[in-house]
Structure 1
Amino acid sequence: MVTEVVETTVDMPIPLDRIWDALNDPATYARMFRGIGDCRPVVSAGERLDLEFRIGTLRTGVRRVEVRLIPGRPYRDLELYCPTLGSLASVRLGARPECTHVAVTVFAPGRVHPMVPELPNSAVSEWIRAGLQRVAEYCTGARTAVVKDGTGAPVRRQVVVARQMLSSGVVQAHRLDHGVRQLAGLAKWGLSLAGGYATASGCTPSRACLIDDRAHRTFAELHKRTNAQARALLALGIDHHHTVGLLSRNHIATVEAMVAAGKAGVDLILLNAGLSGRQLEEIAQRDRISVLLLDAELGHLVRYLHPGIQRFTIDGDPPTPERTTLEELSALSPGTCRRPARPGRLIVLTFGTSGTPKGARRPHPAGLDPVAAVLSRIPLRMHETMLIASPLFHTWGLGILQLSTALRATVVLQRRFDAEACLRAVAEHRVRTLVLVPTLLQRILELPPHVRARYDTSSLEIVACGGAPLPGGTALHFMNAFGDVLYNVYGSTEVSWATIATPQDLRESPETVGRPPAGTTVAVLGPNMLPVPVGAVGRIFVGNPMLFDGYVNAAPPDEVGGLLDTGDLGYLDVSHRLFVAGRGDELVISGGEKFFPRPVEEALEHLPQVREAAVVGVPDADFGQRMAAFVVKTEGSGLDAQMVRDYIRNRLGRFAVPRDVSFIPALPRGETGKILKRLLIMPNSGASQAM
């Protein structure tokens, strides 16, 4: 059993000043000492820094511990003091030839965590030494920030994939012959929507595959209808020589149009219903769209497109003299038609922080690796019911739709998201998996408790969130309300998935985006395109079987050793969890100091008076840039700009204080929930304002 005093000494071949700087940085402890999931500044006053450590695991219990970081004599000693627990770690440094001597004395270590009292002193000492070793690696620039899923060689990876397919039920062990046919069929078709639904139709033809607010389809019905629609397109001469645009909301006909285009060998651009008419015109001209499939209610967005573009409505509205429906065409389609040489590809528009969206070609996976990857971190099941609230024109919603075909899941769709209607659908259809973006999750949380209580959501076992950053406070709030069912997926249109955070990850470290799933490699690289140390911030690169096939009309992102640049900056911690610091173009450089807006945003979002916040860098005549905060207040809040500045100064320090604070009714967001920060940057607007 651990004693009241534990002493540890280490000689580190690192200059004393480097060790001193690292140990005085609060981020060091959460990033490099295992078991500390988070380190959040609470008060910054003079030489004293009060922090809140998140310590422990979901299994042993997670507790928040107040820690006071107290520097003593410069380059000589410092203390980590827990005033509420009466525990203290004293760190003393001494310069020696070619090394720095570090002596650590811990008083009352058993009070910090319930598991520690049962450990021997040697275990506590080893934990300290391991953390200091990672500090040394950080100081020497060791290339440690690379995480692979660990499946190793291709043969071993395929064994892991097969095992995952058997355990999830995608391949059925009790009917080996049937399971082999399933595996061969899926491998032949890949996970394209056309192949996925065709395979599912052969296995479970009478099972419901899609439900929306107007109709439902079985797998057999969808397969038959999309065959007819594909023949109709080909009969009109619409084939692989054409580019077709799809402008619609989430409903059955949207999925049918995707599948039909794939069967016809047509490349289909998924257009965002939130784009302006001018943006749609630019995309149509740039990508040479010759045919448009659309919802009738969105016709006003394309009324100025070139009249030579053929238009067909898909949403079930009756035909008019000016408008032909895809339903009409499919009824007149020929009985047979040639099969295209290849299935059509889906082109997803990227929704970056600036400029016109680029078209990214989504690949058709050759095997079941993508299914195994997601299932290795999210326990989806065969024949379950899932509600996809995320837009299907975005990679996140589309990817789950593709995955649903392998699981032969019943997918519920809603044309427009309404938080209460979503909970009603969960209760009515006994939905097990809810797929959404952080903005929609926040809308559910904003429902009054008595409204949420009207609906039985006990069937929910998985709430998968992706497509945009998920604030750590929002993650904890949601799990406190709905249980430990939340999974946070980080990725992009270009790399598909990168990491997945489980409920355990989010409880232990709410800001993390998780660990890479099976078959995935994540690396954090420096300016020299080599890995940085664990804990150091660099560019996030990802490799997996679903990297995109390139942009339609733009140069691809940087690639290093089969890994693609995500455009984000971040770091890996000692537990191989990834954290996103921000976009590379969001880095603010003010007076030579570099910092990211995200910590300021996270601090503001912890205030009950703040509904949401965004921080950006704006031009400054004296310092090059300064930070500006845009805050959406909760209703009835009396928060003002000076209160915001005082709060940030007290919590994060002077350097993080935004000089400009603007209160606005809502943050501008795209259809996927990402904040469009380019619309917040207002050069030459120096005065703070309150609205």
Structure 2
Amino acid sequence: MSTLRQRSAALLRRVTPGLHTVFVLARQGVIRPLRPDKLLRIILAWRRWGITPPLGFAVGAVRHPDRPAVIDERGALSYAELAQRTTRLANGLRDRIPRGTRIGVLCRNHHGPVETIVAAAKLGVDVVLLNTGLSTQQLNDVITEQRVGLLVLDAEFRTHLPDLPEGIDAVLAWTDGTTRHDTLENLIAISSAQRPTRPTRQSRMIVLTSGTTGTPKGARRPDPPGLAPAASILSRVPLRSGERLLVSAPLFHTWGLAAFQLGAVLGATQVMRRKFDPEQALSAAQRNQCTSMFAVPVMLQRILDLPEQIRTKYDHSALRIVVSSGSALPADLATRFQHAFGPVLFNLYGSTEVSWVSIATPQDLRAAPGTAGRPPRGTTVRILGDDGTPVRRGATGRIFVGNDMVFEGYTNGSSRESRDGLMSTGDLGRIDAAGRLFVVGREDDMIISGGENVYPKETEDAIARLPEVSEAAVIGVDDADFGQRLAAFVVLHEEGGLDTERLRERLRDRLSKFAMPRDVVFLDELPRNATGKVVPRELLDRLRS
């Protein structure tokens, strides 16, 4: 009897995740009854492509061929059009890619990178998503390290071409006016519409780390093992089939890529603009009746910084979900955004290496604005001490996580530390009595000042809560007397609204002596990279100057 119960329990553990996936996908409209002929076409597409980008658009071409798949500044492309165009593009690119090399994509958000990713997957060729903020030297280094043989780039970045490795082939994605270079549109126009043969291997997408502390590294993103990863996110963020999704996060970043992948699963219409502008984002959301938005925190900050008379002239009543990720969401920003837009904000904490870790719902953010939320189903999060054992509830330790989409390692052969099947995020955090995760900061951000452990994020959040402050960043610097000290970099809403002494005075009741910033530098804006993350080395340059 005991053996039977054990077998039943083991069977239930195996079956339950699958049932949960089906339930979530059915609830969100991803799975629904279909005519037998359409179902057969979808099964054949799945057998051909597996769980890869072409499948999502092939399914869309069967289920809703006329629905816009991508809307950008050039107009709309339907699911049927995108499926056909990517077949032509795959045929046009096949002979342009030297054997054993990859396609590099240096593009802003528009249909070009979407079509390139899908076409590459139809060929079984790896894609390297390149950060648009890379210097020519960084781009050169990455292209060489990642064995990029063909570069797809927007025309605005072609000034890099003369200094790139000799023999690099290039195709322009977005162009303004006429050009003598080859373009994606030309390849699509002249290439065969015959379906390419099934690739012998699945394409991999390589995303670069943020590079805020050095040269970006390539991280190999795994193919989803099925639809369970999508269901895991949808269990906490209730996106629905057919969403109108404003993708403001850059596609070359893990978060923008996640929006693209989820959008394909949902059969969503993905609305994109090449460059983020806060007013244009609100205008695009209204014009296209967007129901959801994927953004990084600095974008939400820029929207709130708009004068109220500009912000309120746009109707955002259709916008029911705004998902923020890519960098830490300040508690004060979470509170102010929900005050202005209602209970629509979700905060996803994750990284290039581990994908998602936890998700905070609007209710979580109302109860504890600084939280990173709770892990969704299928994700394990543990807080471990330096010796690798779990810390007590509420204590700060190293964050380790496990899920279906942990990365396969860096392309240089290195990886991140793992313990008992869980991977380090590189962050410090704690879990409160309600099971909510709080990220204290990066492991290498913590400083020891006068013998005390000090976390810059605590000081950063305290400064950001001051009404005169638009945004702030705090870093540790060397100190002859205390070993290390904190330096704060502050952007004010209005010049002269606060000086160093008044800022420190306002913080005295909120921070310990060692958490008080010894240096305060007022800036017009914080130095950020193309993904919106603050660049610490540039802050140090500002301090020294």
Category of TM-score, reference length = shorter chain: over 0.9
Give how far 1:195 is off. Answer: 2.1
Q: Of 360, 376, 391, which aligns to 2:219?
A: 360
In the alignment, structure 1 residue 331 sits paired with structure 2 residue 165:
no
Which amino acid letter does the alignment assign opposite residue 200 of structure 1? G
Task: Please give the secondary structure, in 2, of the residue aligned with 1:585.
Answer: coil
Q: Which residue of 1 aligns with 2:7?
A: none
Q: Which residue of 2 aligns with 1:97?
A: none
Q: Which moved more, 1:196-205 or 1:289-298?
A: 196-205
Give how far 1:187 is off. Answer: 8.5
Larger Rg: 1
Q: CA 1:172–1:677 in 2, change beyond 3 Å: closer, same or farther?
A: same
Q: Which residue of 2 aligns with 1:664?
A: 523
Native 8 Å contact 2:217 2:410 kept in 1: yes
Which amino acid letter does the alignment assign opposite residue 304 of structure 2? L
Within 1, Cα distance between the matches of 2:520 and 2:47?
A: 54
Q: Which moved more, 1:336-345 or 1:604-613?
A: 336-345
Give how far 1:523 is off. Answer: 0.9
Q: CA 1:563–1:184 in 2, change beyond 3 Å: closer, same or farther?
A: farther
Q: Which moved more, 1:466-475 or 1:615-624?
A: 615-624
Q: Which residue of 1 aligns with 2:328?
A: 469
Q: Which residue of 2 aligns with 1:217?
A: 77
Q: Which residue of 2 aligns with 1:618?
A: 477
Task: Please give the secondary structure, in 1, of the residue aligned with 2:509.
Answer: helix
Q: CA 1:610–1:631 in 2, change beyond 3 Å: closer, same or farther?
A: same
- 1:332-374 deviations in whole A, cap 9, x for unaligned? 3345443321232111001143110111111111211111111
- 1:367-407 deviations in whole A, cap 9, x for unaligned? 11111111100111111211100000001011111111111
In the alignment, structure 1 residue 309 sits paired with structure 2 residue 168:
yes
Tell me how large the CA RMSD over aligned residues is.
Answer: 2.2
TM-score (norm 2): 0.93
Q: CA 1:333–1:179 in 2, change beyond 3 Å: closer, same or farther?
A: closer
Give how far 1:653 is off. Answer: 2.9
Task: Please give the secondary structure, in 1, of the residue aligned with 2:508.
Answer: helix
Within 2, Cα distance between the matches of 1:388 and 1:221?
A: 20
Q: Of 186, 201, 204, which aligns to 2:64?
A: 204
Q: Of 165, 173, 177, which aligns to 2:25?
A: 165
Give how far 1:629 is off. Answer: 1.1
Q: CA 1:488–1:184 in 2, change beyond 3 Å: closer, same or farther?
A: farther
Matches within 5 A, 1:198-277: 198-238=58-98, 241-277=100-136
Q: Which residue of 2 aligns with 1:508?
A: 367
Matches within 5 A, 1:122-201: 153-173=13-33, 189-201=49-61
Q: CA 1:317–1:228 in 2, change beyond 3 Å: closer, same or farther?
A: farther
Give how far 1:530 is off. Answer: 1.9
Q: Of 614, 634, 640, which aligns to 2:499?
A: 640
Q: Of 377, 388, 395, which aligns to 2:247?
A: 388
Within 1, Cα distance between the matches of 2:390 and 2:49?
A: 37
Q: CA 1:386–1:324 in 2, change beyond 3 Å: closer, same or farther?
A: same
Between Structure 1 and Structure 2, the one with more strand by share is: 1
Q: Of 275, 282, 286, which aligns to 2:141?
A: 282
- 1:13-42 deviations in whole A, cap 9, x for unaligned? xxxxxxxxxxxxxxxxxxxxxxxxxxxxxx
Q: CA 1:495–1:684 in 2, change beyond 3 Å: closer, same or farther?
A: closer
Which amino acid letter does the alignment assign opposite residue 446 of structure 2? L
In the alignment, structure 1 residue 573 sits paired with structure 2 residue 432:
yes
Give how far 1:649 is off. Answer: 2.1
Native 8 Å contact 1:190 1:364 kept in 2: no
In the alignment, structure 1 residue 443 sits paired with structure 2 residue 274:
no
In the alignment, structure 1 residue 674 sits paired with structure 2 residue 511:
no
Give how far 1:626 is off. Answer: 1.1
Within 1, Cα distance between the matches of 2:433 and 2:512?
A: 26
Q: CA 1:202–1:176 in 2, change beyond 3 Å: closer, same or farther?
A: closer
- 1:531-565 deviations in whole A, cap 9, x for unaligned? 11111111111111111121111410011222111
Native 8 Å contact 1:190 1:366 kept in 2: no
Task: Please give the secondary structure, in 2, of the residue aligned with 1:651.
Answer: coil
Q: Which residue of 1 aligns with 2:378?
A: 519
Matched-pair identity in %? 47
Q: CA 1:520–1:229 in 2, change beyond 3 Å: closer, same or farther?
A: same
- 1:393-436 deviations in whole A, cap 9, x for unaligned? 00101111111111101110001111111111111111100111
Q: CA 1:657–1:579 in 2, change beyond 3 Å: closer, same or farther?
A: same
Q: CA 1:421–1:609 in 2, change beyond 3 Å: closer, same or farther?
A: same
Which amino acid letter does the alignment assign opposite residue 423 of structure 2? L
Q: Which residue of 1 aligns with 2:6?
A: none
In the alignment, structure 1 residue 542 sits paired with structure 2 residue 401:
yes
Give how far 1:683 is off. Answer: 11
Within 2, Cα distance between the matches of 1:504 and 1:187?
A: 41
Q: CA 1:340–1:645 in 2, change beyond 3 Å: closer, same or farther?
A: same
Give how far 1:312 is off. Answer: 0.7
Q: Which residue of 1 aligns with 2:155?
A: 296
Within 2, Cα distance between the matches of 1:684 and 1:387?
A: 37
Native 8 Å contact 1:495 1:566 kept in 2: yes
- 1:134-178 deviations in whole A, cap 9, x for unaligned? xxxxxxxxxxxxxxxxx9823211111111111111111587997
Q: Which moved more, 1:254-263 or 1:176-185?
A: 176-185
- 1:294-324 deviations in whole A, cap 9, x for unaligned? 0111112333112310111011446644x11
Give how far 1:329 is off. Answer: 2.6
Give how far 1:188 is off. Answer: 7.3
* Matched residue count: 534
Native 8 Å contact 2:491 2:523 kept in 1: yes
Q: Which residue of 1 aligns with 2:510?
A: 651
Q: CA 1:237–1:590 in 2, change beyond 3 Å: closer, same or farther?
A: closer
TM-score (norm 1): 0.74
Native 8 Å contact 2:346 2:362 kept in 1: yes
Native 8 Å contact 2:97 2:150 kept in 1: no
Native 8 Å contact 1:648 1:656 kept in 2: no
- 1:92-141 deviations in whole A, cap 9, x for unaligned? xxxxxxxxxxxxxxxxxxxxxxxxxxxxxxxxxxxxxxxxxxxxxxxxxx
Native 8 Å contact 2:428 2:441 kept in 1: yes
Task: Please give the secondary structure, in 2, of the residue aligned with 1:285.
Answer: helix
Within 2, Cα distance between the matches of 1:214 and 1:539?
A: 46
Task: Please give the secondary structure, in 2, of the residue aligned with 1:513.
Answer: coil
Structure 1 alignment gaps of length 5 or more:
1-150
Which amino acid letter does the alignment assign opposite residue 221 of structure 1? E
Within 1, Cα distance between the matches of 2:325 and 2:190?
A: 41
Native 8 Å contact 2:449 2:514 kept in 1: no
Q: CA 1:502–1:181 in 2, change beyond 3 Å: closer, same or farther?
A: farther
